Amino acid sequence: MGTPGERKALIFFGVVLVLGSGVRVARAVGSDKAVEASAKAAIERQIATVDSVRKSGRKKKGRKARKPEPAIVPAIIDMDVASADEIETLRGIGPSLARRIVADRDTLGPFGSLDGLQRVKGVGPGLAQRIDSSVTFSLLPRPSTTANTRSSASKRRRKPPRGDSEN
């Protein structure tokens, strides 16, 4: 079987195992008396609440964020004076593009027409055609020289070609 030392070690571990499980059993049996009456009453109330909800068939409502009520937006939006929130209600225009449209209008002046609106990056002929029946333009656009300053400024920003410079 094994050496006398190994047998003594196995007996020792067996005794520790039996004593440990005996202590656990004693704590589990004796723990019912140690529970406070207020804790038992709280658990009973919770169980009764759950049972009553199950019997009534109601489902517990979660804490979901409520969506804000949509703002009443006019059927036709004036792109020369509308806010970003109003522009965002148009089909195909998200929050980022709406902010870009307002920023362009504030910088370069009113659009005046769908062609003027197309100067905004992200507004192409397809989107212009899609929103054509939902938009109007009430203001006159700035003269074309002002509207073209953006394209000429972008031409000036080009970096010169890299070349070998010997000094």
Task: Give residue-wise pLDDT tens across range 71-115.
Answer: 565 678 888 889 999 999 888 899 999 999 999 999 988 888 888
pLDDT at position 58: 62
pLDDT at position 56: 79
- Residue written as tokens 């000036």? 156
The phi-psi region of residue 61 (left if phi > 0; otherwise alpha if psi is between -120 and 50; otherwise beta) is: beta
- Residue written as tokens 């169980």? 47
Residue 80: CB partners within 8 Å, gap ≥ 6?
105, 110, 111, 112, 137, 138, 139
Within the chain, which residues score under 70 in pLDDT? 1, 30-35, 58-74, 142-167
Beta bridge partners of 135: 77
- Residue written as tokens 């919770």? 46
- Residue written as tokens 């089909």? 91
pLDDT at position 28: 76
Distance CA 47, CA 34 (A): 21
Distance CA 121, CA 130 (A): 16
Nearest to 71 by CA among 53, 52, 84, 54: 84
**CA angle, residues 39, 43, 48, in degrees to nearest 5:** 145
**C-alpha torsion 120→71→67→85, nearest 10:** 20
- Contact between residue 98 and residue 155 where contact means Cβ atoms under 8 Å apart: no
Instruction: Give the number of other CB atoms < 10 A from CB of residue 43.
Output: 11
